[in-house]
């Protein structure tokens, strides 16, 4: 993978180039505002950079949208006063000292009780574990609730599991298992419902064809707007 920079009107953008046996060139602006170029082995570097220059307006538009988004895999350091998203609202972190380690949320605060003087990374691990616990308590129950509500249109999943995923909000396996991303707990409940219904519809249609979208629209007529909000 090669690294270059591309000069735009708004400044320089870091460029990563990944070559493979693919047949076409594709541009992807990633969280953090970097540019990824996927290209065939045989396309010269100069051709790739010229192609990116021609798409500079598109690149700049997406860089502005994504430059302040934390890239996947980059740890977020938690401390006193940090703001954390949770079910469509922001929680302010408060650090208390006590004999036992504990995490709880109250009103608009997430209270971390710790002993001693833990490193910021430890507070981050506590918060990450809390998100996962909340997701396992909320997401499967909400999935079953929506499956019951729309039982005349979609079947109930065989199983619902939760884990942290880098690239997908959810996925549906052919055996009837739905897997949901723990990171959904940072989104508005309406967006969570959209992802769940999206996967429930895949229990009927295992593709994104016309019939699939007709079914999705019959349950959520505004799914396009919800999808757009989810991607922001």
Per-residue model confidence as pLDDT tens digits over 118-144: 777 888 889 999 999 999 999 999 999
The overall longest dimension of the chain from CA atoms, in Å, is: 62
Question: pLDDT tier at 8 (50, 70, 90 boundaries)?
Answer: confident
Tell whether 111 and 181 lie within a shared domain.
Answer: no
Model confidence, pTM: 0.69
So what's the pLDDT on residue 23?
Answer: 84
Tell whether 128 and 138 lie within a shared domain.
Answer: no
On the question of pLDDT at 76 being above 80, the answer is no
- The CATH number linked to 211 is 3.30.2010.10
In a domain, 73, yes or no: no
In a domain, 74, yes or no: no
Tell whether 25 and 106 lie within a shared domain.
Answer: no
Q: 68 in helix, strand or coil?
A: coil
Tell whether 121 and 143 lie within a shared domain.
Answer: no
Residues ≥6 apart with Cβ < 8 Å to 10: 60, 63, 64
Tell whether 114 and 143 lie within a shared domain.
Answer: no
Tell whether 163 and 218 lie within a shared domain.
Answer: yes
Give the full edge-to-edge strand order of the sheet including 109-114. Answer: 83-86, 89-97, 109-114, 102-106
Tell whether 163 and 226 lie within a shared domain.
Answer: yes
Tell whether 127 and 202 lie within a shared domain.
Answer: no
Tell whether 112 and 154 lie within a shared domain.
Answer: no
Calculate what percentage of the chain has a pLDDT beyond 90: 47
Range of the structural domain that residue 190 is part of: 134-230
So what's the pLDDT on residue 139?
Answer: 98
Please classify residue 120 by burial: count the beta carbons closer than 10 Å to its beta carbon, then call 0-12 exposed, 13-18 middle and 19+ buried: middle
Using the Cα atoms of residue 194, residue 66, residue 60 and residue 14 in order, give the sign of their dihedral. negative
For 186-229, the pLDDT digits (tens) are 999 999 999 999 999 999 999 989 999 999 999 999 999 999 88
Tell whether 174 and 96 lie within a shared domain.
Answer: no
In a domain, 75, yes or no: no
Segments of the chain assigned E as strands: 2-8, 11-20, 26-30, 34-40, 83-86, 89-97, 102-106, 109-114, 159-163, 170-172, 177-181
Number of domains in the chain: 3
On the question of pLDDT at 87 being above 80, the answer is yes
Tell whether 30 and 101 lie within a shared domain.
Answer: no
For 139-194, the pLDDT digits (tens) are 999 999 999 999 999 999 999 999 998 778 999 987 899 999 999 999 999 999 99
Tell whether 50 and 87 lie within a shared domain.
Answer: no
In a domain, 72, yes or no: no
């Amino acid at each position: 993978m090669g690294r270059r920079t591309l000069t735009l009107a708004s400044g320089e953008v870091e460029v990563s180039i990944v070559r493979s046996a693919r047949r076409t060139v594709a541009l992807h602006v990633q969280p953090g505002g970097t540019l990824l170029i996927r290209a065939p082995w045989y396309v010269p570097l100069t051709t790739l950079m010229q192609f990116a220059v021609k798409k500079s307006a598109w690149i700049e538009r997406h860089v502005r949208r994504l430059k302040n988004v934390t890239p996947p895999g980059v740890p977020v350091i938690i401390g006193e006063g940090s703001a954390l998203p949770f079910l469509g609202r922001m929680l302010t972190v408060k650090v208390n000292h006590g004999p036992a380690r504990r995490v709880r949320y109250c009103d608009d605060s997430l209270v971390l009780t710790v002993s001693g003087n833990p490193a910021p990374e430890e507070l981050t691990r506590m918060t990450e574990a809390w998100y996962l616990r909340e997701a396992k308590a909320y997401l499967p129950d909400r999935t079953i609730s929506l499956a019951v509500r729309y039982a005349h249109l979609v079947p109930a999943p065989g199983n619902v599991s939760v884990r942290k995923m880098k690239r997908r909000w959810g996925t549906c396996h052919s055996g009837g298992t739905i897997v949901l991303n723990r990171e959904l707990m940072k989104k508005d409940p309406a967006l969570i419902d959209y992802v769940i219904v999206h996967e429930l519809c895949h229990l009927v249609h295992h593709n994104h064809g016309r019939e699939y979208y007709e079914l999705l629209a019959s349950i959520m007529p505004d799914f396009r707007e919800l999808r757009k909000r989810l991607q922001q």
